[in-house]
Chain A
Amino acid sequence: MSETQQSMNPSRHFDELPDAPPKRKIRLSWAGKLGIAVLVFWAIIVVIGPSISPYHEAEFLEESLFIVPGSDEKYPDTDFQPPSRIVLLGSDYMGRDTLSRILFGARTTIGISFIATILAYLIGVTLGIAAAVGYRFQYRGFTIIELDTVLSRLNDALLSIPSIMLGLVMIAALGSTIPLLIVLTGIIYAASVFRIARSLGQEVMVSDFVEAARVRGEGLWWIITREILPNVAMPLATDFGLRFVWVILFISALSFLGLGVQPPMSDWGSMVKENLPGLIYGSVAPLVPSLAIATLTISVNMIVDDISAQTGGKLAKRMIS
């Protein structure tokens, strides 16, 4: 019975090939587990957030909600209200419920950042690996130019422009829409993904087992999919976490400058910006979205830290630089 199952399941079969990298079990410390718990919490909010939120993100709360029983104040202020039974996390500068805006904004902020990071990875890893395996543009058998040289120079140039400035100029030129925001962020962060994918790929390319595969007569595609990708997958997965954090910070920063997600959609970065004046009145409205971003990014970093501590310090070093 088990034999037939094995032969029917090709992926199981692949694991036992000699060129499959050894499986490593990762055991998370309490910090990593806490990180995962927070991450799962936000993932659930992304899915169900809008349906459990008490109000709509763009709904202005009625003044009647805030009338204190017994007082003759008929028209109380609805903006910058402190947390109460009616508004659990207070209200914002226009008298909207902060909690609802956080719940709706989770989908915007996390969704945009996640898609942008995936885009950055698709571009960065594809080009990075192509550069690492030494792809050349050839014309009648002569190498005109190496892909690696072209991409590396272009990449250095992209990295030397502060990413927030690059985003700023492009958004000023093309306008701020969500698809543009995603594509722009994806391209900007593809530059750093490219660097890592390329250096990881180069490391694997010079290893003995790739040499052996070449001598065996394996094609480039086989080497990329069977030798390189499995060996760079783990470091890249860890790096994905870090990159995701930076993308969240980047998107939030753009929104904070008023160039990211446009109102009345709620987004954590723009929520901080909108409510900044409330800081002087001691309102929690600007702090809640900041804290939401912080819990998310800190927890992702804790997981990444935990994993890279177990896979050796080399990885962490490469990822920071």
Chain B
Amino acid sequence: MIWRALLGRLGISVATLFVVSVLIFIGTNLLPGDVAQILLGQMATPESLAALQAKLGMDEPGHVRYFMWLRDVATGDMGFSKAGLGAGNATPIVQILEPRIFNTLQLTSMVAVIAIPIALFLGLLAAMHPGTRLDRTVTFSTLSLISVPDFFVATFLVLIFAVYLGWLPSIAYLRGDETGWGLIRALAMPALTLIIIVSAQIIRMTRATVLNVMSSPYIEMAILKGVPRRRIILRHALLNAIGPIVNVIALNLAWLVGGVVIVEQIFAYPGLAKLMIDAVLVRDLPLVQACAMIFCASYVVLIFIADMASILSNPRLRHPK
């Protein structure tokens, strides 16, 4: 039974990825600019252009080109970027992506490791004492934080830590040879911004879900049995709230991979999102496609994992009727 549920979810994920790839292909082909033209640059004569277009398969109809592209992506060949073409040698996209992916993972994991435990703790704490001053403080501050734009949080932190206190650098440019303390210092500002934004979301979700479970009959039963409140929350309520909480964590992690454009832009952090923005601005089609595929794939994979977690944690989903 459980395998059927898992396979069903897997099928949906694969289908989604397929639709995504079609959308990305269509979307990026709307961007003006022709790869062969770009590759040849100033040496383009109509003949050489036609020859290269034929070699790249660009004279094929759209759907054929789509499957050629899909085959290349599936085998890890992302094609060539427009960058460095002026010098005559095109850079393989994989080479450009590698350091960026590393940077993004570095920041994402740092944020996740700090934000998730803190957020879960605060969310549970607020849910354990609903209506108290602590709860109201947490609720109001997280509500405010999820309402304000990212750049508001970021500029505020820059104002405090970089301008007034002068403790941290206001941009997070990586040379690539930082280790230990230097690395932490460089990452501190963007990480802090993201930790604040991400925690606010997870705290609200944790609190809402746990409180929601708390209103169910079996919790009432536990209360009537005289089980202490802490035990009710940790043993009875939390286990049933895992599904939605894992889901919101997954959504936030996916956002950390691709949605953090603003934060990367403000702090000039060389991550994937900034790479994609720059690629869009210079119409670097293959690079845009590659980045978009990475973002969507990470979203689909993370949501799949979250769905698995909620199926496994819930006996009713584990054994569907």
Contact = CB atoms under 8 A, between A and B. Distances in A.
B12 interface: yes
A165 B208 contact: no
Contacts of A313: 208, 211-212, 215
B261 interface: yes
Interface in A9-34: 31
Interface string B35-60: 00000000000000000000000000
Q: Which of B212, B261, B283 has the most CB of A within 10 A?
A: B261
A290 B266 CA distance: 15
B158 to A, nearest CB: 6
A294 B148 contact: yes
B163 interface: yes
Interface string B193-222: 000000001001100110110010000000
A60 to B, nearest CB: 25
A276 B163 CA distance: 13
A65 interface: no
Given A256-B149, A269-B149, A161 B296 contact: yes
B280 A168 contact: yes
A305 interface: yes
Interface string B65-106: 000000000000000000000000000000000000000000
A290 B148 contact: yes
Interface stretch (B14-22, B117-125, B228-236): B14-22
Given A172-B281, A317-B212, A165 B152 contact: no
A290 B151 contact: yes
B254 to A, nearest CB: 8
A156 B219 CA distance: 34
Contacts of B156: 290
A158 B23 contact: yes
Given A298-B143, A298-B148, A301-B147, A279 B259 contact: no
Contacts of A276: 155, 266
A249 to B, nearest CB: 5
Given A313-B215, A317-B212, A321-B247, A294 B19 contact: no
Nearest to B148: A294
A86 interface: no
Contacts of B201: 320
Given A279-B163, A301-B143, A320 B248 contact: yes
A157 B293 CA distance: 11
Nearest to B27: A169
B216 to A, nearest CB: 11
Nearest to B297: A160
B163 A280 contact: yes
Given A253-B149, A286-B155, A294 B296 contact: no
Nearest to B159: A279
B180 interface: no
A164 interface: yes
**Most central of B23, B31, B149, B205 by chain A CB within 10 Å:** B149
Interface of A: 31, 153-154, 156-166, 168-170, 172-174, 245, 249, 252-253, 256-257, 269, 272-273, 276, 279-280, 282, 286-287, 290, 293-294, 297-298, 300-302, 305, 313-314, 316-317, 320-321
6 contacts: A156-B16, A161-B299, A293-B149, A313-B215, A320-B201, A321-B205
Interface of B: 12, 15-16, 19-20, 23-24, 27-28, 30-32, 139-140, 143-144, 146-152, 155-156, 158-159, 163, 170, 201, 204-205, 208-209, 211-212, 215, 244, 247-248, 251, 254-255, 258-259, 261-262, 265-266, 273, 276-277, 280-281, 283, 288, 291-292, 295-296, 299-300, 303
Closest 9 CB pairs of A and B: A157-B19, A297-B147, A173-B30, A162-B258, A313-B212, A160-B299, A162-B259, A290-B152, A156-B16
